[in-house]
Amino acid sequence: MTIVTKDVLWKGIIENLSDDFVRFFFKPFVHLIDFGRKFKFLDAELQQLLPDNESMNRHADKLIQVWLKDGTDIWFLIHVEVQGYADPEFAFCMFQYFYRIWEKYQRNVTALAIFTDKNRKYHQAYFEYDFMGTQMRYGFNSYVLMDQTAEVLEADPNAFAAVIEIALKHSLRKNSDAQLMDLKVDLLKKLFQRKIEKKKIMAMLEFLKFFVPFEKSENKRKFEQEIYQITNTKQAMGIQEAILDALQKQNLEKGREEGREEGREEGREEGREEQLVKLVHRLLPMFREQGLENDEIAEYFDIPEEKLLEIIEKMEHSIEDAEKQDHEGNHQD
């Protein structure tokens, strides 16, 4: 069964709530940032910097271009550890990213590591080098999920505080499906008690649903019914469709905006196409898990089934090419 991985969820929620994310983790510097200019995500560029690094498959890496009010731009490198395991090379990896980004762009860099596992031994917030009188220390921002308290997060009006609360409460203990249902319903109700925009809540519902999935499919359906009752969503498409439809429109609109900024029809088309491919890549595993057929999935994206199959085929070829390159590299070694 296909599972929506935590790194996919983290990447998605960071991008959907990017303003809240930056305001939450960079509070001392908020007054310097120009939130009137849209953030730009450079994930593809980030992957090209360290294509052979094993850690690329271990973290939800984000590279975000942010403008400051004085007119200069700054690069936020954000690593989110989502798999809960020890990585002794993590701090070195953060340093590698730093000097590669600085070398390529010659711009200021700030970095953040969010540790979601419980092994404090590997929660390093710096990388040190010391050899025969040559010394170096690279420190970066860090945030440890298990050091947070639900009470503080609940009192924080920032939408991303609710995301952290969801992750924290799911991580505190192992849950049976019955306990998990109670937890998710409680978090669901609290979401709607917060003064958060509806489109943000729609994105957060996806995070809440899949961060820790139910064992039994019947409980997934029960929770969707709970969502339907609490949100009072009209039964035009069903709550599952309503959530995904909201995400689809939000992401496709982002593509249109990027296209308009280019000022050319070609730019608009490329912006929409790029966002559509990203959205299919991100949501396809979830659709597969729900057992939906290709024609049904195509309906959600409002594209012909042939177009969907074309995107999926390109995705599969990209994966095959990457695996082939890895195999050839290993064979040469």
pLDDT tens per residue across span 72-88: 778 777 755 544 556 78
**pLDDT mean over 172-200:** 81
Which of 218, 235, 252 is a domain's end point?
Answer: 235
Per-residue pLDDT averaged across 7-24, rounded? 88
**Position 113 in a domain:** yes
Residues 216, 164: Cα–Cα separation, whole Å: 25
- Do 250 and 268 belong together in one domain? yes
Residue 290 lies in domain: 236-333
Asked if 38 and 100 sit in the same domain, the reply is yes
The string of pLDDT tens digits covering residues 41-75 is 887 787 777 765 544 444 567 888 888 888 777 87
Q: Are residues 113 and 261 in the same domain?
A: no
Residue 196 within any structural domain of the chain: yes
What's the average model confidence in pLDDT over 298-304? 73
User: Per the domain annotation, does 120 fall within a domain?
Assistant: yes
Domain membership flag for residue 117: yes
Q: Is the pLDDT of residue 171 over 60?
A: yes
Q: Is residue 1 part of a domain?
A: no
Higher pLDDT, 207 or 320: 207
As a whole number, the mean pLDDT across the chain is 76
Q: Does 122 map to a domain?
A: yes
Q: How far is CA 5 from the centre of its chain?
A: 10
| Same-domain check for residues 103 and 223 | yes
Q: What is the pLDDT of residue 248?
A: 52
What pLDDT score was predicted for residue 230?
73
Whole-number Å distance between alpha carbons of 40 and 262:
14
pLDDT tops 60 at residue 215: yes
Name the domain boundary from 172, 203, 235.
Answer: 235
The closest alpha carbon to 241, from 253, 254, 228, belongs to 228
Same domain, 212 and 295: no
Q: What is the pLDDT of residue 264?
A: 46
Q: What is the mean pLDDT of residues 135-143?
A: 93
Which of these three, 215, 235, 255, is where a domain ends? Answer: 235
In this prediction, residue 24 carries a pLDDT of 95
Q: What is the mean pLDDT of residues 248-277?
A: 56
Number of domains in the chain: 2
Residues 103 and 126 in one domain: yes
